[in-house]
Chain A
């Protein structure tokens, strides 16, 4: 059974600081997604990582994938308040319907001035 674990689950940061969110998964998968969710809102796609060593960057966020270690990271550089949200990683479940996603529990990020 595919399991996805994120840590930390809660993260309080000061503006201007850097931090990394980790996403581990339990079985082989080469497709990993990062989503952002604002309170009361739906999920917004941030990154799609499709191969070992993939790195993608958008603004202050950078995501990477190591399929051998079954690990993805989401690195936040010089955080700003607008980044406050819950971040989810999700992995394609090849053991299931060949397409559904298994989500981590999410990391609730709060960026304080």
Chain B
């Protein structure tokens, strides 16, 4: 069956530009997560959506980062005024709840800020 789908797979942009990253979770998964993977910081949690509840934004590194999830399905992660330190692979994951099932990860978006 279809897994977690992320787009674009690669994004190169200039410092200061805004970017939008998209995640389409596995159908029926109510939980959706964004993580960031970089050489220096490893895998970091960014934000978590669960059903219609307010998202947990505790992992977002600054107010330049925001995310939304429309209709309980597709999610968009937006980074405004990008900085070079935002360069990383952004991974989306989804899962059923409760969390005794693994989170299924997409292939990620590799973001490079010039």
Q: CA–CA, A101 to B35, complex, Å? A: 9
| A contact residues around B101 at 8 Å (CB) | 48
- With A93-B45, A100-B33, A102-B45: A45-B56 Cβ-Cβ less than 8 Å: no
Contact assessment for B99 and A31 in the assembled complex, using a CB-CB cutoff below 8 Å: yes
Secondary structure at the B interface, as helix, strand, loop or mixed, is strand
Q: CA–CA, A7 to B57, complex, Å? A: 30
Contact assessment for B42 and A42 in the assembled complex, using a CB-CB cutoff below 8 Å: no
Partner of A31, one of B45, B58, B59, B100: B100
| A contact residues around B95 at 8 Å (CB) | 99
Query: With an 8 A cutoff between CB atoms, is B50 at the interface?
Result: yes
- With A99-B31, A99-B48: A48-B58 Cβ-Cβ less than 8 Å: no
Since A43-B105, A48-B100, A100-B33 are in contact, a sample of 20 more A-B pairs with Cβ atoms closer than 8 Å, ordered by chain A residue number, is: A31-B99, A31-B100, A33-B103, A35-B102, A41-B107, A45-B102, A48-B101, A48-B102, A90-B43, A96-B59, A97-B45, A97-B48, A97-B50, A99-B50, A99-B97, A100-B56, A101-B43, A101-B103, A103-B42, A103-B43
Query: With an 8 A cutoff between CB atoms, is B111 at the interface?
Result: no
Contact assessment for A99 and B99 in the assembled complex, using a CB-CB cutoff below 8 Å: yes
Contact with B along A39-55 (1 / 0, CB 8 A): 00111110010100000
Q: CA–CA, A9 to B76, complex, Å? A: 33
Name the interface residues of B54-95: CB closer than 8 Å to any CB of A: 56, 58-59, 91, 93, 95
| A contact residues around B48 at 8 Å (CB) | 97, 99-100
Query: With an 8 A cutoff between CB atoms, is B104 at the interface?
Result: yes
Name the interface residues of A48-101: CB closer than 8 Å to any CB of B: 48, 50, 88, 90, 92-93, 96-101
| A contact residues around B100 at 8 Å (CB) | 31, 48, 50
* Closest Cβ neighbor of A43 among chain B residues: B105
Contact assessment for A99 and B106 in the assembled complex, using a CB-CB cutoff below 8 Å: no
Query: With an 8 A cutoff between CB atoms, is A105 at the interface?
Result: yes
* Closest Cβ neighbor of A47 among chain B residues: B102
Query: With an 8 A cutoff between CB atoms, is B108 at the interface?
Result: yes
